[in-house]
A and B are shown apart, each in its own frame.
Chain A
Amino acid sequence: MLFENPQIATTDLPSVEDVNFQRLPPQALKLRTIGWCITQGIMLFILLGLFLFGEIFKKQWPWIFIFSAWFLQAVYFFWMARKRFYREGYAVREKDIIHTKGFWLRTQLTVPYNRVQHVEIEQGPLARAFGLGGISVYTAGDSGGDLSISGIEYKEAERIKQFIAQKVGSDE
């Protein structure tokens, strides 16, 4: 195939298959773990509130099942968050950007720059503390084709945005 699409700052690789995906920085895992703690904490808080003041069951024993269910799902999602984290990656190439993620269902979304409508950078208060941010790449019309990576270094997000903006600009 007479087509080249080199990955940025690495060797010339024409196929998505051979792309070396950039992993997310380790702080992103910390950030996600904190997020996980917050959601699980809220759940536990609500459950405890119901347990102490709710009077849902006449006896105490059903609560054992409920709390163990909470514990099991917490462990599962903690484990999944780590698994998913190590499977997530992105690659910025000359003509497109790729985002790969998922553990049970692996997905790999590719958006060519000449289909990009606009690019956005986000940074929540927690992410700011870690110097992290997210980038969203929007295409026309449907939301399905939008690509968003969260938990990359904020400076990196800015660099990617600049790069895509320049690419999109040069196409027009």
Chain B
Amino acid sequence: MSDTSPPFYFQPSRQSPIAILLILARLIRSLIGQFWPVLLLLLLRKRSANSSQFWVWVGIAITIFSVLRSLVTYFRTHFYIQDDEFILEKGGFTRRRLSVPLDKIQTITFQQTFLHRLFNVVSVEMDTTGAKGSEISLTALDRDKATVLREYLLRWKKENVNATSADQEAATADVAPEVELLKLDLGALFLIGLSQNHLRSAGILFGLLASFAREIQPILGKSAYKYFEEEWGLSFNFFWTFALWIIVFFLIISVIATLALTIVRFYNLRFVQTGEGFRLEAGLLTRREQAAYLPKIQFLRWSANPLQRLWGMYNLRFYQAAGHELRGKQTLQVPGCYPHQITTVQTAYFPASVQEQWDWYRPHRLYFRQRVFMLGLLPLIGLILKTSLDFSWVWLAITLLWLPFTAWWQWKLLLRKEYGLSPDGLWVKSGYFTQSQILLLWANVQGLEVQQSFLEKRHQVADLTFYTASGEVEIESLPLPMVNSLRDYVLAKIEVGVENVEELRS
């Protein structure tokens, strides 16, 4: 690489040498992730001189292999831009050459782990539309270079995409000043951490520990509980008899863990409105910079559980168009939003949603009946069997309360479920404990599916699913004629929309 006039990205370039270190770190982490039971075994069992020498050699071999692999990966990875395509050559033993047309690049994400920040490098991820596995990711690139590259790509997109196709992107305004919408301080983070669903995380934690205990069973040669009892003199019977204590214990752990996780994940969160859309920066150890470009946002969802509603905080999510591999990463999440920030985002994504006339509809009662049947009656059969075969007062209480509780809950859900229709989009309100809202523009619909179950047919109702490039939105149990005409309308909207564009061009 020379520093002559053509920028580095027009000729095959390597990543920053720091990449070697980072690839190595990733390799070691994944090795540990896969072989931790073996490592645990080595640490726990009684050592003999011979075998530990053997394991030292194995360790050395693995280390040499990892270092070699990182070096090969580093030296064989090149990237450059040629003929309006971004080209990434990679692969140690099997060569792979990925080429992605520049106009297919959807989003460019920078990410910095702790190691990245030490050396002032970033990892770059470019997400593309369509085909599987065509996502491009670079492990480490100097921050300056990465910024230059991103600027070039964005500039290219702006110049070329706007000129060739009068897509929605044409509507993107010129560079507008950045407006900071939200900045979370430690106090707000604390509230967000407290308001997470702790029962769920306690459940997950409990499940993880239980599965951990099972997984190390073959290594210890006996059950983990027995091991603790015999080797460490701890009796787990104490815990089992006082199940309540376990729940409290896990709840406390979960609160502490979620607080820590929230702070690590959203530390110093900045949510900014930019000319093209929004940007989110957050993270303590790994600082992520995610961008949501307005034309790529498929739909918005915001939700709040009772505690969050009390504090007037919402959890906002952007669902963005993304390739298959990066799907999860492309839903951008902003916790702790206040109503006016939601309104700002809402107006940017769907300007007409604020003034437009909305017609509100509720699902047919069949929605309630079907769910009570599935969630109430079917489990009840199991509960009755369990109680009659193996009687205990706790199970009897659960059995007796199950159906009334499910019916009450589902009834509340039915009452909360509302579908708003407007000329330009859909608004769904749902949820009783955690209440959420979804806003979808018809223009983002990729395909529509009408579904009608056997029962729904008898009641002349149907469901309608809207597929977008980032997941689906479903409306359920509405009168069939209405579903049909809504489908025809949305189809016309999508199909005529492009027709108009055609007219404009010719």
Contacts and interface: CB of A to CB of B under 8 A. Distances in A.
> Which of A5, A14, A104, A112 gathers most chain B CB within 10 Å?
A112
Contact of A16 (B298, B457, B471, B488): B488
Given A3-B492, A5-B491, A141-B468, 17 more contacts: A16-B487, A16-B488, A16-B491, A95-B495, A96-B495, A107-B452, A111-B446, A111-B447, A114-B498, A115-B446, A138-B130, A141-B324, A142-B468, A142-B470, A144-B447, A144-B467, A145-B446
B125 interface: no
B188 interface: no
A114 B491 contact: no
B323 interface: yes
A16 B485 CA distance: 9
28 contacts: A1-B489, A3-B488, A3-B496, A17-B488, A96-B491, A96-B495, A106-B452, A106-B453, A107-B449, A108-B450, A108-B451, A109-B447, A110-B448, A110-B487, A110-B491, A112-B447, A112-B491, A112-B494, A114-B494, A138-B130, A140-B321, A141-B446, A142-B472, A144-B471, A145-B447, A145-B468, A171-B502, A172-B165
Contacts of A95: 491, 495
Contact of B453 (A104, A112, A141, A146): A104
Nearest to B322: A141
Contact of B449 (A108, A117, A118): A108
Contact of B471 (A108, A118, A142): A142
Interface string B98-140: 0000000000000000000000000000000111000000000
Interface of B: 129-131, 165, 298, 321-324, 327, 445-454, 457, 465, 467-472, 484-485, 487-489, 491-492, 494-496, 498, 502
A139 to B, nearest CB: 4
A39 interface: no
A114 B452 CA distance: 26
Given A109-B447, A140-B321, A15 B488 contact: yes
B468 A109 contact: no
Interface in A141-165: 141-147
A9 interface: no
Contacts of B472: 142, 144-145
Contacts of A145: 446-447, 467-468, 472
Interface residues on A, range: 20 to 34
B293 to A, nearest CB: 14
Interface string A1-22: 1010100000000111100000
A64 interface: no
A106 B446 contact: no
Most buried by A among B165, B327, B496: B496
A117 B130 contact: yes
A129 interface: no
A105 interface: yes
A116 B414 CA distance: 35
A5 B469 contact: no
A146 B487 CA distance: 17
Contacts of A107: 449-452
A28 to B, nearest CB: 22
Contacts of A106: 451-453, 457
B492 to A, nearest CB: 4
Given A1-B488, A117-B130, A110 B323 contact: no
A141 B325 CA distance: 10
Contact of B448 (A17, A109, A141, A172): A109
Closest 7 CB pairs of A and B: A145-B467, A141-B469, A145-B447, A3-B492, A140-B469, A139-B446, A111-B447
A105 B321 contact: no
Contacts of B491: 5, 16, 95-96, 110, 112
Nearest to B471: A142
Contact of A110 (B449, B451, B453): B449
Contact of B129 (A17, A117, A147): A117
A12 to B, nearest CB: 14
Contacts of B445: 115
B454 A147 contact: no
Contacts of B492: 1, 3, 5
Given A16-B484, A16-B487, A115-B494, A110 B447 contact: yes
